């Protein structure tokens, strides 16, 4: 394979080391790593053993052990249910950096990117060796890739004690919180990266753009003062944002910096470590967050480069505060001006729908509900429809029972929808069986839930002059005249 480092890419390496006597110093001129170099590195060193978000502690253990030749491995302790929490240390420099991920068990995007980064740091002979040498000489890095393995096992936020570890920094009731605090105190990092996921409904305030990556330099006191420790975090984030705006322009959000006295990020900042929060949100057609995984790799590697060269000093707190604020104004689907029936009359309302994924083993299905209704003009739909003149219309359940789900094809489901059926019954298919058909599948004894009020499951038709135009199936919008290809994540009800 040819080296990835092209003459153009090599220009960014001109910042590198020069010798003064027996000492090594860093040139003052800082150039961020190029987008092409960062992308190529992640693609080359992608950890192919992890392909989706719902991996478990056992899946990571052989991946950790394969790096024993290049990293110093240490078991830091055990979770409530006895799963190990380990760290991987790399580098011999004076500046210490600690990164920890999956404090919340179902927030796994950054964990994937860390394993890509491990592969990269272990690599050689690919045009990146000078960069690795710089990082290794200047930095000492401690990675803790899964703080909450019990939560990861069930793919849930909290640990086995049902405690949110990010609210246990002070009391340290949980052994996992004690492990993180002890690691920080023993290592005494100058920089820390607190790696999380956020819900996909975060947007950049008053825009329809998803906040694909959100950031924060947490406050260390209620006054949200800026000391040198917090300033360094802000400057580093500004450099990360410079990279992100080139690849996902307008899709970077900034969290509110209200001080949370129980949180790890706020307290680690308070304890003297410049702390950088990275939150992975949503991105179009990336349900398993594989593109966002790449973005994490890119900005983390770029940030390590900034820290190694002190390149963050060229950024300002003003650049940090210029990043757009986070908000939660996104919905999966907004139907505008749907006419809904009340006491024999019809009233035009906007319906806002959200679909939330529910874990089912190594995969998931969607549960949808009417999130809100009325005047929804302050919200943005990832999908939307002007339904003016269309009336909410309830659907029917097909009168004949199918022997099994295998008898129902996508074409048959669409045919039934056009005839006014929102659901079919099956005899020999268990409840909660997963399927991807554009219709509700009911176990033979179940009933169909449908409605338009808040909290209702959005199953209904939209009709114009008595003709069915659209079907809404568990929050998915289907154009009955021109159905588009889309992925349905459903279960037998």
Residues 215 and 77 placed together within one structural domain of the fold: yes
Question: Does 28 have pLDDT greater than 60?
Answer: no
**Residue 401 located in a structural domain:** yes
Instruction: Return d(Cα 14, Cα 27) in angstroms, integer.
Output: 9
Instruction: Return d(Cα 30, Cα 35) in angstroms, integer.
Output: 15
Instruction: Return d(Cα 233, Cα 215) in angstroms, integer.
Output: 10
**Which single residue is written with the structure tokens 């491990």?**
118
pLDDT bin (cut points 50, 70, 90) of residue 29 is low
334, 379 Cβ separation under 8 angstroms: yes
Helices vs. strands in the chain: H and E counts, helices first: 12, 25
With b meaning 16 or more CB within 10 Å and e meaning fewer, what string describes 242-262?
ebbeebbeebbbbbebebbee
pLDDT tens column, 95-148: 999 999 999 999 999 999 999 999 999 999 999 999 999 999 999 999 999 999
329, 400 Cβ separation under 8 angstroms: no
127, 82 Cβ separation under 8 angstroms: no
CATH of the domain at 316: 3.40.630.10
Mean pLDDT across 390-404: 96
Last residue of a domain, one of 327, 353, 369: 327
Percent of the chain with pLDDT over 90: 92
Residues 253 and 280 placed together within one structural domain of the fold: yes
Which has the higher per-residue pLDDT, 477 or 2? Answer: 477
pLDDT tens column, 287-307: 999 999 999 999 999 999 999
Question: Does 410 have pLDDT greater than 70?
Answer: yes
Closest among 74, 91, 198, 65 to 144, alpha carbons compared:
74
Domain that holds residue 459: 330-491
Round the CA-based radius of gyration of the chain to a whole number and report it. 25
Q: What is the number of structural domains in the chain?
A: 2
Mean pLDDT across 334-338: 98
Percent of the chain with pLDDT over 70: 94
Residues 305 and 438 placed together within one structural domain of the fold: no
Q: Which residues, 6 or more positions from 409, have their beta carbon under 8 angstroms from its beta carbon?
A: none
Question: Does 15 have pLDDT greater than 90?
Answer: no
Residues 60 and 111 placed together within one structural domain of the fold: yes
pLDDT tens column, 175-233: 999 999 999 999 999 999 999 999 999 999 999 999 999 999 999 999 999 999 999 99
CATH of the domain at 438: 2.30.40.10
Question: Does 36 have pLDDT greater than 50?
Answer: yes
Residues 229 and 346 placed together within one structural domain of the fold: no
**Residue 1 located in a structural domain:** no
Last residue of a domain, one of 327, 355, 370: 327
pLDDT of residue 24: 40
438, 449 Cβ separation under 8 angstroms: no
Residues 402 and 316 placed together within one structural domain of the fold: no
478, 491 Cβ separation under 8 angstroms: no
Residues 309 and 336 placed together within one structural domain of the fold: no
pLDDT tens column, 231-276: 999 999 999 999 999 999 999 999 999 999 999 999 999 999 999 9
Residues 70 and 101 placed together within one structural domain of the fold: yes
Instruction: Return d(Cα 95, Cα 308) in angstroms, integer.
Output: 8
Mean pLDDT across 398-413: 95
Last residue of a domain, one of 295, 327, 359: 327
Residues 229 and 255 placed together within one structural domain of the fold: yes
**Which single residue is written with the structure tokens 């002890």?**
182
Residues 255 and 392 placed together within one structural domain of the fold: no
């Amino acid at each position: 394979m040819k080296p990835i480092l092209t003459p153009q890419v090599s220009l960014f390496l001109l910042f590198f080391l020069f010798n003064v006597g027996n000492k090594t110093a860093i040139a003052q001129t800082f150039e961020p790593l190029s987008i092409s170099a960062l992308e190529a590195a992640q693609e080359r060193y992608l950890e192919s053993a992890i392909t989706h978000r719902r991996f478990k502690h056992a899946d990571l253990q052989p991946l950790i052990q394969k790096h024993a030749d290049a990293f110093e491995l240490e078991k830091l302790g055990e979770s409530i249910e006895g799963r190990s929490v380990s760290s991987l240390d790399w580098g011999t420099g004076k500046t210490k950096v600690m990164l920890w991920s999956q404090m919340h068990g179902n927030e796994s995007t950054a964990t994937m990117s860390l394993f890509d980064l491990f592969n990269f740091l272990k690599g050689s002979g690919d045009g990146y060796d000078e960069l690795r040498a710089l990082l290794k000489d200047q930095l000492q890095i401690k990675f803790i890739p899964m703080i909450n393995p019990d939560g990861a096992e069930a793919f849930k936020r909290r640990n086995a004690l049902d405690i949110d570890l990010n609210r246990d920094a002070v009391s340290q009731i949980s052994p996992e919180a004690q492990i993180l605090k002890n690691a920080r105190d023993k290592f005494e990092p100058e920089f820390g990266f607190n790696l999380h996921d956020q819900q996909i409904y975060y947007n950049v305030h008053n825009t329809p753009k998803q906040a694909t990556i959100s950031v924060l330099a947490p406050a260390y006191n209620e006054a949200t003062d800026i000391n040198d420790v917090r300033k360094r975090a802000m400057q580093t984030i500004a450099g990360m944002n410079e990279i992100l705006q080139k690849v996902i322009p307008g899709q970077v959000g900034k969290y509110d910096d209200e001080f949370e006295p129980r949180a790890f990020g706020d307290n680690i900042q308070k304890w003297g470590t410049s702390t950088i929060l990275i939150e992975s949100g949503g991105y179009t057609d990336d349900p398993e967050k594989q593109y966002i995984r790449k973005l994490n790799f890119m900005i983390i590697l770029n940030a390590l480069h900034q820290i190694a060269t002190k390149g963050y000093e060229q950024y300002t707190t003003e650049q940090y505060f210029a990043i757009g604020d986070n908000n939660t104004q996104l919905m999966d689907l907004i139907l505008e001006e749907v006419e809904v029936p009340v006491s024999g009359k019809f009233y035009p309302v906007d319906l806002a729908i959200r679909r939330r994924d529910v874990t089912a083993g190594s995969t998931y299905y969607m549960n949808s509900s009417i999130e809100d209704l009325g005047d929804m003009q302050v919200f943005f739909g990832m999908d939307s429809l002007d339904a003016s003149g269309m009336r909410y219309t309830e659907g029917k359940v097909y009168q004949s029972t199918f022997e099994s789900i295998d008898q129902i094809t996508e074409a048959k489901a669409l045919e039934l929808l056009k005839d006014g059926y929102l659901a079919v019954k099956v005899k020999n298919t268990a409840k909660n069986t997963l399927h991807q058909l554009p219709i509700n599948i009911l176990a033979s004894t179940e009933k169909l839930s449908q409605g338009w009020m808040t909290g209702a499951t959005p199953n209904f038709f939209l009709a114009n002059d008595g003709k069915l135009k659209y079907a809404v199936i568990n929050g998915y919008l289907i154009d009955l005249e021109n159905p588009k290809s889309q992925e349905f994540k459903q279960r037998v009800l």
